[in-house]
Amino acid sequence: MTDLKKLAAECLAKLRAAGADTAQARLSLSEKREFNIDGGEFSLFRTTFNRSLTLIAFRETKTGSVVVNSFDPDAINRAISDCMRSVESDSPDPARGIAAYQGERELVYGEPEPDAEKFFAATKRLKADIEERYPTIMMEQMINSHDKTESVYADTNGNLFHMLYGSYGVGLMFSAHRDGKSSSFMGCEYDTVDLDTPLIEQGDIARVLSDVERQIDTVPVEGSFTGTVIFAPDCLGGLLRTAIGCFASGTPLIDGTSVWRDKLGQAVASPGFTLSLAPHHPDAILRQQLTGDGYLTEDFDLIRNGILESFVAGIYVSNKAGVPRSKNTATGWLVMPEGDRSLDELIAGVKDGLFVYRFSGGHPANNGDFSGVAKNSFRIRDGKLADAVSETMISGNLADMLLSFEGASRERVKDGYSVLPFAAFSGITISGK
């Protein structure tokens, strides 16, 4: 067995000896066991064993990083040499830094040890359940895997964190077919540690499969109108992450192009809108334990009751943009509180709009303008789900959209990372042919 802590300490010592003022080392050993179904049939059983070594060195505020997947002494020496040459080619930037001393931690979470036979049986049952309950569904691909990782983070400030974690991942891609017609393809995925509950009863799979079966026959939207859109949780998560990327993190904060740059403590969403970055939420299977800088993470509210409470910033962005460092940078772990009404009641409140499972759109401009195709979606008319729609585009502005939040459902979907409801936003342009 490789002693990752010992190896990390050796790497840091060598980086110091090579001239680094400060340095970080991340080492990991990972194993994957994966079953694939293609075109409705089992096709592949795959096991992979990998390792990774990331070295980041700083000297006089210059930096460089190297990633290799070998722990061979010669490879490590080459990596250190490459890393220090990269450092020398850099220019100084005092905005850089690594985490202050926090001590040592042992962190174990998820289900690190797989039960491959039980997982295969659960996968086989999921396939059978889908075939029996949803006869029009054609399984383009199912990729179910268990991933185990042991990793160590160490730095020259004395931080040493040892982590062991694992989980079962379930991922499906499918469409519904009948009489030569088909729905759009749809995907579902989640992570779990529970192999006792049938996989079809976890995540949001059953609802989505059922609704995709109703999307074989579609009706185009005529003309263009402004309406309310209810986004399904997975789609909502994608849009919220995009908004964070445009307005609340990274380069847009540094170069000042973020429209939220001066909005800390001010309203950026409707008063009923709250969004947290919560990698330690009880329903999170895997967790962001550390930021890239080496800080142990804590949950925080990005937006509370419509007010921007924080940006998403590590040390560099914090120093460069002059904004406070955030308690985590875990944009994959979004949590919204449950709403005050059921999904049916949420739909009942919409006179004319769309229910959108999937948004096929490009990355918006920095100003948040977006447009794209509403896929796997239904028209909402007079408070009821109507026909599935085809060739329908939606467009708007992400910043404006958050200010037009109309409410969220009590039902929330847990995918092992995020916990999100169905959410309604008004003022979105909906256009068809």
Q: Hey, which residues between 43 and 62 contact other proteins (CB under 8 A)? A: 43-51
Q: How many residues bind other proteins (CB under 8 A)?
A: 79
Shortest distance, position 181 Cβ to other proteins, whole Å: 10
Options 109, 371, 383, 427; binder of other proteins; rule CB under 8 A: 371
Nearest to 212 by CA among 281, 133, 267, 268: 133
| 405-to-20, 376, 393 alpha-carbon distances in Å | 49, 22, 20
Binding of other proteins at residue 63 (CB under 8 A)?
yes
- b vs e for 147-163, b when ≥16 Cβ sit within 10 Å of the residue's Cβ? bbbbbbbbbbeebbbbb
Options 18, 68, 219, 386; binder of other proteins; rule CB under 8 A: 68
Q: Which of residues 102-131 bind other proteins (CB under 8 A)?
A: 120, 124
For residue 424 the two structure tokens come to: 């309604």
Options 69, 197, 305, 342; binder of other proteins; rule CB under 8 A: 69
At a CB cut-off of 8 Å and minimum separation 6, what does 27 contact? Answer: 4, 7, 8, 11, 51, 52, 53, 54, 71, 151, 152
Shortest distance, position 89 Cβ to other proteins, whole Å: 4
Q: Which of residues 234-273 bind other proteins (CB under 8 A)?
A: 251, 254-257
Options 82, 115, 345, 411; binder of other proteins; rule CB under 8 A: 82
For residue 387 the two structure tokens come to: 């026909």
At a CB cut-off of 8 Å and minimum separation 6, what does 272 contact? Answer: 305, 306, 405, 407, 408
Does residue 431 contact residue 239 with C-beta atoms inside 8 Å? Answer: no
* Distance separating alpha carbons of residues 55 and 261, to the nearest angstrom: 32
Options 146, 287, 375, 412; binder of other proteins; rule CB under 8 A: 375
Nearest to 20 by CA among 53, 52, 66, 51: 66
Options 2, 6, 67, 266; binder of other proteins; rule CB under 8 A: 67
Q: Which of residues 148-177 bind other proteins (CB under 8 A)?
A: 173, 175, 177
Q: Which of residues 181-240 bind other proteins (CB under 8 A)?
A: 182-185, 224
Shortest distance, position 315 Cβ to other proteins, whole Å: 13
Shortest distance, position 223 Cβ to other proteins, whole Å: 8
Binding of other proteins at residue 320 (CB under 8 A)?
yes
| 238-to-128, 319, 362 alpha-carbon distances in Å | 30, 28, 11
Shortest distance, position 5 Cβ to other proteins, whole Å: 19
